[in-house]
Amino acid sequence: MMKAKDTWAQNKSIFSYEEGKLHSFSKESNYETSHKVYQDGIVGIHYHIGKVDDEEGYRKAEENLVRQRPYPFTLETGTRARDKREKVLPDAELRKLADGCMQYLRETYPRFRFQAKFTGTEYDRRTENDLGMDYRTQDYAVGVSVSYKHEDSKNIADGYFDFNMRTFEEAVFRQMADDYLAKHEVKAELPEDLIFNMKYYSMTGYLANLLNAEELARGTSLLTGKIGEKLFADDFTLTHVVSDQEAWFNPFWDGDGCVLPNDELVLIENGVIKTGFADKKTAKQYGVPHTGPAYHDFSDIPGPGGLSVQVKRSEKTVKELLGGRPCVVPVNFTSSGFNEKGEMTLVIQHSLLYDGEKIVGSLPEFKVAANIFDVFGKDFIGVGSDRPIYYDKSLLFHVNKVS
Amino acid sequence: MEYNFRFPKDLYADVRIEESESLWLGMENGELKNDGESAEIGAMVRVFDGNLWYTATTNSLEEIQGQLDALAQMATPNPKIADERIVKEFEVHQEERFLYSGENDLRKVSRAKWKEIMDGYVEKCADPEDPDVSFWFCGVSGRHLIKRFYSSKGAKIAWDRQQCNLNFFYGFTVNGVTNYGGKGYTTMTVPELLGHEAEILEKKAQYLDYAKNAVDITPGDYECVLAPFVTAMFTHESFGHKSEADFMLNDKTLREEWVMGKKVGSEKVSICDMGDLPNHGYVPYDDEGTKAGKIYLMKDGILTGRLHDANSASIMGEAKTGNARAQDYHFQPIVRMTNTYMEAGKDNPEDMIAGVKDGIYVVDVNNGTGNSTFVMNPSLCYRIRDGKICEPVRVHMITGSVFQTLFDIEGVGTDFELFDTYNCGKMGQGVNVSAGGPSIHVKRLAFN
C-alpha cells in the first residue's frame, strides 16, 4: 500500500471599506487535508476541512478503499519547492496602505461612493507521497477590489476594478483609479471601428476547454477532428503555463503529480491546434497521449483540467498594436457566455474609450457580438507586451456592434 | 449541542457556527465520475466596538473562545456599546428549530440508497443505444447544515436546513455542434427526488428538438411570454436586487428613485420575499439573529417594502426584514434575497400565448444579472406566430430596462410555481435562494 498527502493552507487579512470608510477587519485561517492510500489499482481518500493527524487521516482513507475508486497508475516522484512570495505585509502595514488608497479615492473623487477590499493572502500548497515526492509552492499577494458608483447614477454600481500584486505599489492603485474614474463624467463617442481591450481569461478558458481530450474524443467539442488544423490567427499561440508570474496561488504540479517540461504545454501554436490535453485516466480511457494537466481533487480521483493558459504576448505595446486607433475598455458588462456554436453577445452598460495613452471618456450603452474563432482568428490584434489599464494582460480584438 | 462563551465586556460580539455534511455521486456516459463526501465545522466570530467590526474564522471549535478574546484585544472597549444604533437593532431570540432531525434527515440515508436513486434514473433516462445522445450526466447530492448563533445580547439560536439535488443533462451533437439540456431538481428531502423520470424525458425531447431545429433569432424587440421558470429569474434579477437596501444607504439619487409608495410597475404585479418558507432560500433567522417573515416589496405595482439588514434598517428608519445573509462562515452577512416571487395573477397562460401575433415564448433560462439594464441568458425559446407556438429559436440574451419592463407586463398568469434550483451571487458571495412566479406577458423585450 502506498500513501500520499495533499495539504492546502491559506491565511487572509482583509480590510473592508463601505461608503469609503473602514468597516471591518477580518482574519481568515483555512486548512484542508487529503489523505490517500493506493492498493491494487484502487485509491481510498479521506478529505478533511481543517487539520487532522496523519494516523487518523490514513485510517479513514483506508476505510474508503471499499468505494473502489480506480487509480491504476504509478505514483510520481520528485522534489521541488517554489516560493513566489516577495513581501508579506504585516496587518498594520496593509491597513496603512489601504487607508492611504481610500483617502486618495475620497479626496480625488468626492462625487463617487466606494466599496473596497484589501486582502493579503498567504498560500501554501504541498503534496507528498511514499515514493519521496515532495512538491511545495508558496505565494503571497495583496488583492484589491473597488466597486464605485457616481452620486447621480441610478445604477446599483457603475463599475469595478481589481488587481493582485505581490509587492504592493500605491502608484499602481492611483493610476488604475484615475483611469477608471477621472473621465467618468466626460462623454465620448463610440468609434466606427470597434476594438475591445479586455482581460482575456473567460475567453481563453472557454477555448482551452474545447481542447479537453475527453470532449474531443466524445465528439462534443467544436474542435473535434481539428488537431493539426490552422483555425486561428498566424500570431496566436495558446499555452498552459504554470510558472506564469501573473497566475496567483497555483501549484506547478498537476493532480496526477506530474510536472510539465519547462512548466508548459503548447496547445495552439501560430494558429495551428497542436494537441488536446489529457490526464492519466483520460489518456488511458480514450487511447490518446498523456499530456497533463489534471485538476487537483482533494476528495476524489483527478480528471482533465486545472489549466492556467496564457496567450503569447506580442513584442509590441498596447499603444503600438492599436497604431493610433482608439479602443473600448468594457467596465460594467454582461456576457451571454459562449453558446453551442462558440458565439456570444455582450451588453456593455458602461465602458471607457482609450486612445493608447489615456482614457478619453465614457461611452453609451451598446451591444456587441463575437465568435471564439474570430476573436482569436480574423479579429485578433494581439496581447500587448505591457499592461496598461488592468495591470494585467490585455487582449485587443475587433468586435461587431449589434442592435 | 449548546455552547457557552465568555463575551467581552463593553463590546458587542456574536458567534456563528456551521456544521455541514455533504455527499455527491455523478455518473457520466456510464462511468461513475464523481464519488465524494465532506464534513465541515467552522465558525465566524465577530466583535464590534461601535467603530469597527473585527472578525475571525476558524475550523476548530476549541479556538472560538480564544478568537473572541483576541478580537476583543484589538477592539476599543465602549461602555455605551448597547446604545450604538446597530446594536440596538439586533434582536434577541432563543430557539432551536430543527426541521430535519428525524426520519427526513438526509444523513440517515445510506450511500447505497443514494446510488440506487441515481442508478434508477440512469436505467430509465439514459439509453446507451440512443444515436442522438453524445453525452449524458446524472448526478445526485445532498447537504445537511446546522447553524448556531450566539450573541453578547443573549441570542441563542439553532436551526437546520438541507438540500437534495438531482441533475440529469444530455448533450446532443448535430453537425459537429453540441447542445446541452436537461432538468435539475433541488428538494428538501430525499423522497422528493423520486419520480421525475417522465419530466426529464420530456425535457430531453424538447432540447433534442432544439438541437435539430433551432433557427437563429433576428435580433430586435419582441412581444413575449415568459414561462414561470423565466418569470422567477426575471423577478429576482429585474426587481429583487433593486429591493436590497444596502446599495442605497446615504445615496440621495437612489432613495429618491425608490421612494415608498411610488408606482414602479404594472398594477398586475405583486412581489414578495419570505425567508421562513421551508424552501431553498429558507432562513428562519438571518445571520445577525433577526427573525424572518414575509414582506411585500411591490403590491399592485406600488413600491411597498425593501430588504434590510440591521444596519440598513436603522439608517433608513424602516423595519428589519431578516435578510442579512452570509454565504457561509467565511463571510460577513450582507443584504440578500431569500424566497422571492411574483404572486399569481388572474390571466390564463394559454390565452396569453394565444394573444401574441408575432413574438417569443421563453421556456428555460440559464442565468441572469440585474442592474438598470437586466440580462437573462435563455436556453430554450420558441417563436409564436398567430398565437401558436412554432419552431425553436436560438437566443443569446434577453435585455430590458428595469424602469420600463415592470410597466410593460400586460398579463400575469394563474400558473404560479416556486423553483428551488436558483443560486444568487453578490459581492463575491453565493447563497441559496428560491425564485418563483407565474407565466407573464411582456409587451416588449430586446432579444439578441
Q: Give per-residue pLDDT as tens, B92-111.
A: 999 999 999 989 999 999 99
How do the domains of chain A map onto residue ranges? 2-181, 195-201+314-402, 203-311
B32: pLDDT confidence band, cut at 50, 70 and 90?
very high
B293: exposed, middle or buried (Cβ count in 10 Å: 0-12, 13-18, 19+): middle
Residues B190 and B302 in one domain: no
Residues B94 and B239 in one domain: no
* Residue at B107 is within a domain: yes
**Residue A225 Cα, gap to closest chain B Cα (Å):** 10
Using N-to-C axis directions, what is the helix angle for B111-125 and B197-213, rounded to 10°?
A: 50
d(CA A140, CA A7): 17
Alpha helices (runs of H) in B80-191, residue ranges in sequence order: 85-89, 111-125
Report the residue of chain A nearest B58, measured CA to CA. A29
Report the residue of chain B nearest A369, measured CA to CA. B448
The pLDDT tens digits for B224-281 are 999 999 999 999 998 999 999 998 888 889 888 899 999 999 999 999 999 999 999 9
Residues 6+ apart with CB under 8 A from B285: B93, B95, B149, B157, B159, B291, B292, B322
Residue B1 has pLDDT above 80, yes or no: no
| CB contact B325 to A (< 8 Å) | no
Measured between beta carbons, the chain B residues lying within 8 angstroms of A219 are: 134, 173, 176, 178
d(CA A307, CA B278): 40
B403: pLDDT confidence band, cut at 50, 70 and 90?
confident
Residues B56 and B87 in one domain: yes
The pLDDT tens digits for A25-48 are 999 999 999 999 999 999 999 999
- Asked if B177 and A299 come within 8 Å (Cβ–Cβ), the reply is no
* Residue at B317 is within a domain: yes
- Asked if B36 and A300 come within 8 Å (Cβ–Cβ), the reply is yes
**Mean pLDDT throughout B334-359?**
98
Cell of B50: 461601535
Residue B371 has pLDDT above 80, yes or no: no
Residues B145 and B186 in one domain: yes
Residue B2 has pLDDT above 90, yes or no: no
Q: What is the CA radius of gyration of chain A?
A: 23
Residue B152 has pLDDT above 80, yes or no: yes
d(CA B265, CA B299): 9
Residues B224 and B200 in one domain: no
| pLDDT value, residue B300 | 98
Residues B260 and B157 in one domain: no
Residues B156 and B303 in one domain: no
**Mean pLDDT throughout B101-130?**
96
| CB contact A403 to B (< 8 Å) | yes
Cell of B242: 433593486
* Residue at B316 is within a domain: yes
Helix (H, G, I), strand (E, B) or coil at A345: strand
Of B136, B169, B204, which closes a domain? B204
- Asked if B448 and A345 come within 8 Å (Cβ–Cβ), the reply is yes
Measured between beta carbons, the chain B residues lying within 8 angstroms of A67 are: 35
**Mean pLDDT throughout B51-64?**
94
* Residue at B85 is within a domain: yes
Cell of A88: 508579506
Of B177, B204, B231, which closes a domain? B204
In a mutagenesis test of the A interface, which of B251, B397, B424, B426 is the best target, namely the one with the most A β-carbons within 10 Å? B397
Residues 6+ apart with CB under 8 A from A225: none
Residues B266 and B384 in one domain: yes
B3: pLDDT confidence band, cut at 50, 70 and 90?
confident
| pLDDT value, residue B234 | 95
| pLDDT value, residue B60 | 87
| CB contact B112 to A (< 8 Å) | no
Residues B307, B265 contacting (CB under 8 angstroms) = no
Structural domain harbouring B380:
220-447
A224: pLDDT confidence band, cut at 50, 70 and 90?
very high
| pLDDT value, residue A202 | 85
- Looking at chain B from residue 369 to 408, which residues have their Cβ under 8 Å from any Cβ of chain A? 369-373, 375, 377, 394, 396-397, 399, 403
The pLDDT tens digits for A341-362 are 999 999 999 999 999 999 999 9
| pLDDT value, residue A50 | 84
- Asked if B249 and A19 come within 8 Å (Cβ–Cβ), the reply is yes
| pLDDT value, residue B436 | 98
| pLDDT value, residue B35 | 94
* Residue at B354 is within a domain: yes
Tally of domains in chain B: 2
Residue A403 has pLDDT above 90, yes or no: no
The secondary structure of A102-119 as a DSSP string is HHHHHHH-TTEEEEEEEE
Residues B115 and B152 in one domain: yes
| CB contact A95 to B (< 8 Å) | no
Residues B19 and B56 in one domain: yes
Residue B427 has pLDDT above 80, yes or no: yes
* Residue at B236 is within a domain: yes
* Residue at B311 is within a domain: yes
Residues B194 and B270 in one domain: no
Sign of the torsion angle spanned by Cα atoms B58, B62, B63, B65: positive
Of B174, B204, B234, which closes a domain? B204
d(CA A338, CA A372): 8
Q: What is the domain-level CATH number for residue B154? A: 3.30.2290.10
Report the residue of chain B nearest A147, measured CA to CA. B427
Size of interface A-B (CB pairs under 8 A): 150
- Looking at chain A from residue 296 to 315, which residues have their Cβ under 8 Å from any Cβ of chain B? 297, 299-300, 303
Residue A156 has pLDDT above 90, yes or no: no
Cell of A282: 483520460
Q: Report chain A's mean pLDDT, rounded to a whole number.
A: 96
| pLDDT value, residue B336 | 97
| CB contact A77 to B (< 8 Å) | no
Residues B195 and B227 in one domain: no
| CB contact B258 to A (< 8 Å) | no
Q: Is the ipTM of this complex over 0.85?
A: yes
Helix (H, G, I), strand (E, B) or coil at A65: helix
| CB contact A47 to B (< 8 Å) | yes
The pLDDT tens digits for A88-138 are 999 999 999 999 999 999 999 999 999 999 999 999 999 999 999 999 999
Alpha helices (runs of H) in B214-332, residue ranges in sequence order: 228-234, 252-257, 310-316
Q: Report chain B's mean pLDDT, rounded to a whole number.
A: 96
| CB contact A367 to B (< 8 Å) | yes
CATH number among 3.30.2130.10, 3.30.2290.10, 3.40.50.800, 3.40.630.10, domain A2-181: 3.30.2290.10
Element (H, E) at A344: strand A343-354
